[in-house]
Chain A
Amino acid sequence: MSQVLADLRYAKSHEWARSLPDGRIEVGITDHAQHALGDLVFVDVPPVGTALAIGGACAVVESVKAASDVYSPVAGTVVEVNASLSGSPELINEDCYGKGWLYRVQPASSSGLDALLDASAYSAVLAAEGG
């Protein structure tokens, strides 16, 4: 059973978003996503300064098996990327909600996360997908 953290918000396309105390939002892929992809070997994140729209393809995560697009769960501007992933993409498999975060954005509006799923709604999505 995939891990779903209670304090995060989720997109149906298996990204998570976390509100940081300074107002920025941290983004990553969920436990379900990393498990489905298998061993990650390459991550391509958007450079700092990139403007992201909700639902836009913004990053690529590649496992041994396949490449998969990451869709931005929030609108905003990329202010920081996880530089560790370039040498250690396996951090996403090992700790997808922690050390495996992808990028942080300055959100375009303060209500950015309200449209996303909460943990119980995302768990229902996973249950409906059979995983």
Chain B
Amino acid sequence: MGRKTPLHDLHVAQGARMVDFGGWDMPVNYGSQIEEHHHVRRDAGMFDVSHMCVVDLRGAATRAFLLRLVANDVGKLRIAGKALYSCMLNATGGVIDDLIVYFLTESHFRIVVNAGTRDHDLAWMRRCAADWGLDVEILERDDLAMIAVQGPRARTAVAALLAPEDRERALLLEPFFGIECGAWFVARTGYTGEDGFEVVIPAVEVESVWRALSAAGVASCGLGARDTLRLEAGMNLYGNDMDETRHPLESGLAWTVAFEPLERDFVGRAALEAIRQSGGSPMKLVGLLLEDRGVLRSHQKVVVPGVGEGEVTSGTFSPTLERSIAFARVPRATGETVQVDIRGKLLAARVVKLPFVRHGRALISL
């Protein structure tokens, strides 16, 4: 048996099919995964993401610590509540994890890391702080739970549960900002390509919040729909699309690496600069749309005639497009068409610009 979130028994009572995810017992769906996907695109759905790890960093040296720890520039975080997506790299530029940093006060930053990497991440952060002689308190918040409420109606559904004085502040949040509302933390972030909130709540309260959102018509959604939504939205999954052996420049994450200012010496910088100086990464991550019938899956071989080979890193059937879509790591010279080896047959796929879907609408031509 895996670890359980505070909502575990409620998921089971709601008829969820439970699976292991990164050592956690998590709901993959509550019936039809495709219906859950459409609920998020068209109305509102919620995901238990309490398996993800909230870490509070405190102390005067926290900003200095994060400026070295992550590849994006925490110096960009000047307004309280602002969030930043970034990778934490090793010395060779490999991705230890991807995470979100929230700037709360100069002596308090909050980060959210993946479930499967939490122990490794915490050990890495503690070792870095010790090596750099920076006095930063690194506190794992096991007392907190987290619900992602996503979809066009998500923000109003969450706001209705807030105290009147917090409601307006929450609804005025710009994308990628968060605020503390009493013991809650409400952020306008997500992993679906829809508007919505991610809400961090004391674990003891989370079941009543889930029930209240259910009563407001927010659909319970599992990790299955979460995966198809994030793929349509062009968002990477750690362990599939990048890991410690892959750097951001070959993982579609160059936009999350801040080489400016030049004097900021983050872990992995030298390795990434060497790649850039040698003419750039020989591989790149692209979006694929399958032209033939079938379903793209991770680890399928991609054949680029006259150029070389690559591999599908994440693939699925897109409920919005009703076609199969994927991310694939392919040679840099790859053009507009590739072939994918599906059970010994080479099927045609088109290279497309990500994302596939945003705010309920297809962004690619079929």
Known: A38-B29, A42-B317. A65 touches B293 (CB 8 A): no
Asked whether, in the complex, the Cβ of A65 is within 8 Å of the Cβ of B34, the reply is no
Q: How many Å lie between the Cα of A67 and that of B319 in the bound state?
A: 16
A64 near B317: Cβ-Cβ < 8 Å: yes
The reply on B117 being an interface residue by CB < 8 A is no
Q: Which of B261-286 contact A (CB under 8 A)?
A: none
Choose one: B224, B294, B324, B343; the contact of A65 (CB below 8 Å): B224
Q: How far is the CA of A65 from the CA of B21 in the complex (A)?
A: 14
**Is the pair B293, A64 in contact by a Cβ cutoff of 8 Å?**
no
Q: Within 8 Å of chain A (Cβ to Cβ): is B297?
A: yes
We find that the number of chain A residues with CB closer than 8 angstroms to chain B is: 14
Let me know if A41 and B295 touch, CB within 8 A: yes
Q: Are A39 and B343 interface neighbours, CB within 8 A? A: no
A50 shortest CB reach to chain B, Å: 15
Given A64-B224, A64-B317, A65-B28: A42 in contact with B34 (beta carbons within 8 A): no
Chain A residues with CB under 8 A of B28: 38, 65
- Find chain A residues with CB under 8 A from B293 CB: 42, 86
B33 touches A38 (CB 8 A): yes
A118 to B: closest C-beta gap in Å: 28
Number of interface residues of B (CB under 8 A): 17
- Min Cβ gap B293→A in Å is 7
Complex contact A64–B297 (CB within 8 A): no
Contact indicator B32/A39 (Cβ below 8 Å): yes
A115 at the interface (CB under 8 A from B): no
CB distance from A45 to the nearest CB of B (A): 12
Contact across chains for A67 and B295 when beta carbons are under 8 A apart: yes
Q: Is the pair A62, B34 in contact by a Cβ cutoff of 8 Å?
A: no
**A60 in the interface, Cβ–Cβ < 8 Å?**
yes
Neighbour of B297 across the interface among A38, A44, A67, A86, CB < 8 A: A67
Q: How far is the CB of A115 from chain B (nearest CB, A)?
A: 28
Among residues 44 to 70 in chain A, which have CB atoms less than 8 Å away from a CB atom of chain B? 44, 60, 62-67
* Residues of chain B within 8 A of A66, CB atoms compared: 297
B316 at the interface (CB under 8 A from A): yes
Residue B5 interfacial (CB < 8 Å): no
Q: Residues of B contacting A38 with CB < 8 Å?
A: 17, 28-29, 32-33, 224
Chain B residue contacts of A41, Cβ below 8 A: 295, 317
Contact of B343 with A64 in the complex, beta carbons under 8 Å: no
Task: Say how far B220's CB is from chain A's closest CB, in angstroms.
Answer: 15
- Tell me the minimal C-beta distance from A81 to chain B in angstroms: 14
- Inside 8 A of A64's CB, which chain B residues have their CB? 33-34, 224, 228, 316-317, 319
- Chain B positions 12-59 with a Cβ under 8 Å from a chain A Cβ: 17, 28-29, 32-34
Smallest beta-carbon distance B194→chain A, Å? 18
Interface residues of B in 314-329 (CB under 8 A from A): 316-317, 319, 324
Give every chain A residue within 8 A of B17 (Cβ-Cβ).
38
Q: Is the CB of B343 within 8 A of A60?
A: yes
Q: Is the CB of B33 within 8 A of A39?
A: yes
A35 vs B28: C-alpha distance when bound (angstroms) = 13
Q: Given A64-B319, A65-B224, are A42 and B33 neighbors across the interface (CB < 8 Å)? A: no
- In the assembled complex, 29 residue pairs joining A and B whose CB atoms fall closer than 8 Å, in A order, are A38-B17, A38-B33, A38-B224, A39-B32, A39-B33, A39-B34, A41-B295, A41-B317, A42-B293, A42-B294, A42-B295, A42-B317, A42-B324, A44-B294, A60-B343, A62-B295, A62-B317, A63-B33, A64-B33, A64-B34, A64-B224, A64-B228, A64-B316, A64-B317, A64-B319, A65-B28, A65-B33, A86-B293, A93-B32
* 10 pairs of A and B residues whose beta carbons are closest in the complex: A41-B317, A39-B34, A62-B295, A42-B295, A64-B33, A64-B317, A39-B33, A38-B33, A39-B32, A65-B224
